[in-house]
Structures are given as C-alpha cells and as structure tokens.
Chains A and B, each alone.
Chain A
Amino acid sequence: AQSVTQLGSHVSVSEGALVLLRCNYSSSVPPYLFWYVQYPNQGLQLLLKYTSAATLVKGINDFEAEFKKSETSFHLTKPSAHMSDAAEYFCAVSDFQGAQKLVFGQGTRLTINP
C-alpha cells in the first residue's frame, strides 16, 4: 500500500528565506506524487504534481519539488518565502483502485515570520 510521511508538522521561516518541506513516500508501483496547499478555512489547491515526466517539477507561486527515487523523496521548496505562503501543506501519493485514491501525509504547517 502507498503511504506518505511528512517530516515536521510545523515549519517556521523568515520572510525571504528558503522554504523546505519534506515528504517521503512508500509505493509498490512507480509513484504519482502531489503537493497541495490549504489556506485557512479553505479547501485544498494543487501546487504541483509528479507524473513520471521530469523529476524537477515547477508549480504555482514559485514552488518546485524534486522527485528522487533513490531517496524515495519529493521535497517541496521555494527560494524566498512570502507572508502569503503561510498555510498547511500536504504531500500525497496516488493509488488507483477503480478510481484515483489520494493518500495524504499528515500535513506541515508553514509559518512565515516578518
């Protein structure tokens, strides 16, 4: 069964600093991986996804993630944090059981300090 582990339930960075959110996956098949963001009191929005094309994936709002098979990782980065990036971030792996089944990590809350 597929699973995802997000290291660090809470990450705090200063405005302008590098953002690094960690995600490791376990999958018995080549994985499809997603990063979603949830702003306070809102639904989830896709940031980016890896579907076996380029290993470096660029998403919205200058976020990117790199798929590393040898490390079973799909960490999310952004070079310079903005206050508006404060949110909950979820990594997910996609399974298929007649329909797509997203298995989410525990989430990482990102706080931006002024």
Chain B
Amino acid sequence: DTAVSQTPKYLVTQMGNDKSIKCEQNLGHDTMYWYKQDSKKFLKIMFSYNNKELIINETVPNRFSPKSPDKAHLNLHINSLELGDSAVYFCASSQEGRAETQYFGPGTRLLVL
C-alpha cells in the first residue's frame, strides 16, 4: 500500500508549456505539502494545505497553483514553465501539529527544455 503517491514520476517538457503533478495520500492526514528539491539537493517548502485550505505559501511565483479537491489530494499546476523550474517536486502529508512526522512521496522529476 503506497502511503503518498505522485504522478507522473518523470516529466520532460518544453519552456512555456503548462503541466500538472498529482498527489494522493491514503494515510488519513489533514495536512499536505509541496516541496521543491533543486539540483544541489536543497529542499524548500512551497505550499501547505490543511483540510483543503491553503495555509503556507512560501513566496512561490503565481505560475504555480496548488489545488486540493479533497483532503487526500493535492495537485500542483505550473503555467508557462521556465528552465529554472527544473527540479524534483515532492508531495508530503502529516497530521496537524509541529511535532508530527511528514510522509513523503517518491518525487516527480521535472525537466524543462
């Protein structure tokens, strides 16, 4: 049973295109996140949702739009892709609270050409 799943695993696209990444968790968690990992492996939070409501938006360009249709899903749509968007995007989920463990998906490797 996959706890946090993401699709697709790999995404290769041209600059200027629009793409979406989907995330689903079957852990019953209330909170979901998107992280970006750059080529130097640095991980930074992008967004956090709690019960379908946006809680954290870390000064991400508005070309990135998260959408949470229900608390088990958090999708990431990216408009007008740029070269600098090439990275690995991770979805994660947790229960609510500062001490909770976040469970990460396998990542989506995005390459913008």
Contacts and interface: CB of A to CB of B under 8 A. Distances in A.
B17 to A, nearest CB: 24
Interface of A: 32, 34, 36, 38, 41-46, 49, 51, 88, 90, 94-104, 106-107, 109
B48 interface: yes
Contacts of B97: 96, 100
Interface residues of B, number: 29
Question: Is the contact region of chain B dominated by helix, strand, or loop, or is it mixed?
Answer: strand
B55 A99 contact: yes
| Best-surrounded residue of B4, B50, B56, B106 (most CB of chain A within 10 A) | B56
Interface string B10-42: 000000000000000000000101000000111
A46 B48 CA distance: 19
Contact of B31 (A90, A100, A106): A100
B43 interface: yes
B68 interface: no
A100 B106 contact: no
Contacts of A106: 40-42
Contact of A100 (B41, B44, B100, B104): B100
A36 to B, nearest CB: 8
Given A42-B106, A43-B90, A99-B50, A90 B43 contact: yes
